[in-house]
């Protein structure tokens, strides 16, 4: 237990042989239960999980018998719980599987530590504290808050992460939360009860989708500075498909979140401003096309009018979107916890 709360850790793993065993070994003793979820790996990941779980569970049982293990309740006789998907479903699905088991076991706070060893267990208390102290429902790591932390991240990841941070802020409504791709996080049982885990995105865009769903549910999110840690592991992300896929996901999550938090039928100023701004920018694009066609047909009069309309609509649309964003920042400020 930690701070009087039972703690669980989900370890999603896909082709992490040589790494996942060490992750299981280094999870702190105050963690009551570990859900090691193999997403149908092609290598020896599952064998490594089951072998290590057998030994660690045996050692934990021996410690309880000697009375030397006080962190874990006797109800959690099997501390490491190996779980294997029947087919590869994605990292988001693996985490959701662990979350469901944690809810079924009555775990108070559940964290995520990737099977590749990039998440330093020494920083787990920093994620647990905002939830245990009642400040937040969901706490996530942020590797971009400190120059020293940013220096540890490869440049191509840093640039991509900065872009996705901006897009995710718009899509999620958490305007002060950064590093949305960081999966090192902890969540309360209350938050898990409020979320539809079956609907959370299955693949690598799951942290972005989860943030938007947290906002739609009115959950408080803490941003916790945590340094990056990179070793010999290799990323399995295919960026050629990852970027467009996550971009499309962010558009869908943005629209879905607005529909839930600011129903258009109630004429909420946020949804109205976003809708009118998007409509104006769309009209600006059409007038721009008319201007181009007018120049080609040498209809200079019509072309000038179209250009003027395009400029006016562009300015109006940008102003409306900025107004909507400013309103959102004010409304969502109570849901953001900065550590």
pLDDT for residue 160 is more than 80: no
pLDDT for residue 49 is more than 70: yes
pLDDT at 65 (0 to 100): 61
Q: Are 254 and 171 in contact (CB under 8 A)?
A: yes
Which residues on adjacent β-strands are paired with residue 252? Answer: none
Give domain status of residue 60, yes or no: yes
- Domains contained in the chain, number: 2
Answer left, alpha or beta for residue 90, where phi above 0 means left and psi between -120 and 50 means alpha: left
pLDDT for residue 164 is more than 90: no
- Residue 269 shares a structural domain with residue 156: no
Structural domain that includes position 215: 7-260
Give domain status of residue 1, yes or no: no
Give domain status of residue 146, yes or no: yes
Domain end marker among 260, 282, 304:
260
- Residue 320 shares a structural domain with residue 193: no
CA distance 36 to 23: 10
What would the pLDDT profile of 222-262 be if each residue is shown by its tens digit? 999 988 766 555 555 555 567 677 888 889 999 999 998 88
Domain end marker among 233, 260, 287:
260
> Can you give the pTM of this predicted structure?
0.85
- Residue 38 shares a structural domain with residue 120: yes
- Residue 134 shares a structural domain with residue 212: yes
- Residue 114 shares a structural domain with residue 200: yes
- Residue 79 shares a structural domain with residue 42: yes
Q: Are 220 and 177 in contact (CB under 8 A)?
A: no
């Amino acid at each position: 237990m930690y701070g009087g709360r039972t703690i669980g850790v989900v370890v999603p793993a896909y082709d992490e042989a040589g790494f996942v065993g060490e992750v299981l070994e280094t999870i702190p003793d105050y963690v009551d239960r570990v859900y090691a979820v193999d997403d149908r790996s092609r290598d020896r990941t599952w064998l490594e999980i089951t072998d290590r779980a057998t030994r660690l569970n045996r050692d934990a049982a021996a410690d309880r018998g000697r009375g030397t293990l006080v962190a874990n309740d006797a109800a959690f006789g099997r501390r490491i719980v190996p779980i294997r998907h029947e087919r590869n479903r994605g990292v988001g699905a693996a985490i959701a599987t662990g979350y469901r088991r944690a809810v079924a076991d009555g775990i108070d706070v559940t964290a995520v530590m990737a099977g590749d060893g990039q998440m330093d267990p020494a920083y787990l208390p920093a994620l647990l504290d905002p939830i245990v102290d009642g400040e937040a429902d969901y706490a996530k790591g942020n590797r971009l808050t400190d120059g020293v932390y940013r220096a540890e991240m490869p440049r191509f990841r840093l640039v991509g992460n900065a872009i996705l941070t901006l897009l995710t802020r718009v899509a999620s409504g958490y305007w002060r939360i950064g590093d949305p791709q960081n999966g090192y996080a902890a969540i309360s049982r209350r938050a898990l009860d409020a979320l539809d885990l079956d609907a959370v995105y299955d693949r690598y865009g799951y942290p972005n989708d989860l943030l938007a769903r947290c906002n739609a549910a009115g959950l408080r999110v803490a941003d916790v500075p945590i340094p990056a840690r990179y070793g010999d592991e290799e990323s399995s992300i295919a960026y050629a498909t990852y970027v467009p896929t996550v971009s499309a996901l962010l558009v869908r999550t943005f629209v879905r979140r607005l529909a839930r938090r600011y129903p258009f039928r109630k004429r909420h100023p946020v949804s109205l401003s976003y809708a009118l701004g998007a409509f104006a920018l769309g009209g600006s694009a059409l007038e721009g096309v008319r201007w181009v066609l007018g120049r080609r047909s040498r209809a200079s009069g019509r072309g000038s009018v179209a250009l003027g309309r395009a400029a006016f609509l562009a300015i109006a649309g940008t102003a409306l979107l900025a107004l909507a964003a400013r309103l959102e920042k004010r409304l969502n400020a109570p849901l953001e916890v900065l550590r």
